[in-house]
Amino acid sequence: MNRIDEAVTVVGGGIGGLSTACYLADAGADVTLLEQHEDLGGVAGSFEMDGFRFDSGPSWYLMPEVFERFFGHFGHSVDEAYDLERLDPSYRIFWTDGDRLDVPADPEALASKLEAYEDGAADAFHRYLTHAEEVYELAMERFVYPFRSGWTDWIDTDLLRSARALPLLRSMDHHVQTYFEHPKLRQLMEYKLVFLGGSPYNTPALYTLMSHVDFNQGVWHPMGGMQSLVDALAELAEALGVTLKTGTPVNGLRAQTGGVHVSANGQSHMAPRVVANAPPAHVERTLLPPNQRDYDDAYWDEKTYGPSAYLLYLGVEGDVDPLRHHSLVLPPDWDPHFEQIFDDPSWPDDPAYYIHVPSKTDPSFAPDGHHSVFVLVPIAPGLRDNDARRAKMREIVLDDLAEHAVDLRDRIVAEADACVSDFAEGFGHPQGNALGLAHTLTQTGPLRPAHRATEAPGLYYVGADTQPGVGVPICLISGEHAARAVAADA
């Protein structure tokens, strides 16, 4: 990366903002990060309530090599920052017909379990996973890790040849069906597309790479939860000389000669360059003057946003068996739920959902004899989430849990929830989505919003709504790319 001898203001202290602040400072920039909330981490982090701790958003620590690569860039390692435990089983699936599957950390052990669902499934799984690994290696090496400064950098015959080797044009569901017929095996290969903000029907088969992430690389837990990562990023940023200012909302940005004028907390300053970690749609609509926006409202309204979420955080007394650290409850037919997220936005009647019980692994999350439980139901972005709707969803979830896993009702001693309006008002996520722009074919790779704003010179973007995309490890990489974009221009 070129040296940067300029001051850079980073707007937002989510994973992308913290990551880019570290790379920028390491390249020589004088970096100030302004975060509107008192806490850093954005949607990632944790909160405490009545002696319980909860990861507020992300809880699956995936792609551990990306975190190693990040800390390695600064001469550190993950080990120095926090302890990491590999989970085994990685997670448990509860199908609502009564069937349960523990997904072991060892893919060989999983292959033999799959054979019970379908003759030949073990062989099919080996072939499927080998292909997923090849796609992962190619995608990371050629498309995700390298920073490409502009469109011309994508027009390269070698790169286009690599792109042809990626399964881009068919859907994930179509791809998985060529290996497995059993609907439960298809669900097992496809559920993680929700992590990318998509469904098996609108996500290209390229994202079969997520199966390599899930089954080969495994599911990990940082002791202390995602907060340990956020704390480590903040500590690293400060050690590199970044000034972190929390409780500092930015309420205006305007590009002018010499940089970008930043208004924050009733004060203003000129920054030669600004990197915004808030979603580009939000920055354009609320922070920039109309003549400095790259796109109009219609452009942003027509985008496919990933799901929002109904989140229920519970402090529970006593045992929560048979739940595991990560559990999924899936109706054998999940199509109606996907339709209610992407095609016909409405609250789900028979939801597929996820339960996180970190206290199964990490005693720091709950007092003795108690558990910290959070339930995440993916729902359509843009839904109205008044008290009555949240209360109804709470009843659906607790009834469903009692029927298919464990009855928690009489043992809840602490409770909070979050939903669409919290993501919209708290973080500026368009339509209150939780995850960012979905990874549909037309919102993948260079087709996602770029790191450089065009109409506001000196303004850059980082985070889940830019390139490469959604997820904690991917936002770490986004931070590197945004810093490289600044370095290329500085």
Ligand X SMILES: Cc1cc2nc3c(=O)[nH]c(=O)nc-3n(C[C@H](O)[C@H](O)[C@H](O)COP(=O)(O)OP(=O)(O)OC[C@H]3O[C@@H](n4cnc5c(N)ncnc54)[C@H](O)[C@@H]3O)c2cc1C
Per CB under 6 A, does 17 bind ligand X?
A: yes
SS3 category, 87: coil
Residue with smaller CB distance to ligand X, 114 or 356: 356
Secondary-structure breakdown of the chain: helix, strand, coil percentages, each rounded to the nearest 5: 40, 20, 35
Looking up tokens 């028979």, which residue turns up? 350
Burial label for 409, CB within 10 Å (0-12, 13-18, 19+), is: exposed
| Structure tokens that stand for 253 in this block | 């940005």
Q: Which two tokens stand for residue 126?
A: 């080996």
Q: Report the residue from 330, 470, 482, 486 that binds ligand X according to the rule CB under 6 A.
A: 470
* Residue 107 preceded by cis peptide, ω within 30: no
Say if residue 359 is exposed, middle or buried (CB neighbours under 10 Å; 0-12, 13-18, 19+): buried
Least spacing, CB of residue 249 vs ligand X, in Å: 4
User: Per-residue x/- marks for ligand X, 355-384, CB under 6 A?
Assistant: ---------------------x--------
Nearest to 320 by CA among 388, 374, 373: 373
Of the CA atoms within 13 Å of residue 5, those in its CB half-sphere come to 0
Nearest CA to 477 among 218, 139, 151? Answer: 139
- 232 counts as binding ligand X under rule CB under 6 A: no
Q: Is 463 in the site for ligand X (CB under 6 A)?
A: yes
Among 8, 13, 26, 422, the residue binding ligand X under the rule CB under 6 A is 13
Bridge partners, residue 12, by sequence: none
Tell whether residue 307 is a contact of ligand X (CB under 6 A): no
Cβ-based neighbour number of residue 85 at 10 Å: 14
Q: In angstroms, rounded to a whole number, what is the distance separating the alpha carbons of residues 387 and 137?
A: 46
The answer to whether residue 385 forms part of the interface with ligand X (CB under 6 A) is no
For residue 355, the SS3 value is strand
281 makes contact with ligand X (CB under 6 A): no
Out of 120, 249, 252, 258, which residue is the one contacting ligand X (CB under 6 A)? 249
Site string for ligand X, 23-62 (x = CB under 6 A): -----------xxxx----xxx------------xxxx-x
**Near ligand X by CB under 6 A, which window of 7-15, 266-274, 386-394, 452-460?**
7-15
Under 8 Å between Cβ of 464 and 16: yes
Q: Does 472 bind ligand X (CB under 6 A)?
A: yes
Cβ proximity to ligand X, 36 vs 444, nearer residue: 36
Number of residues that bind ligand X (CB under 6 A): 37
Q: Is 85:361 a contact under the CB 8 Å cutoff?
A: yes
Q: Beta-carbon neighbour count of residue 312 at 10 Å?
A: 25
Chain centre to alpha carbon of residue 52: 23
Task: Identify which range of 164-172, 399-407, 451-459, 468-476 contacts ligand X by CB under 6 A.
Answer: 468-476
Q: Which is closer to ligand X, CB of 75 or CB of 290? A: 290
Q: What is the smallest separation between the CB atom of 248 and ligand X, expressed in angstroms? A: 6
The correct pick among 31, 250, 438, 486 for binding ligand X (CB under 6 A) is 250
Closer Cβ to ligand X, 37 or 73, answer by number: 37
315 binds ligand X (CB under 6 A): no
Which of 14-22, 135-143, 364-372, 397-405 is the region at the interface with ligand X (rule: CB under 6 A)? 14-22
Provide the binding-site residues for ligand X, judged by CB under 6 A. Answer: 11-17, 34-37, 42-44, 57-60, 62, 249-250, 277-278, 309, 311, 376, 427-428, 434-436, 463-464, 470-472, 475
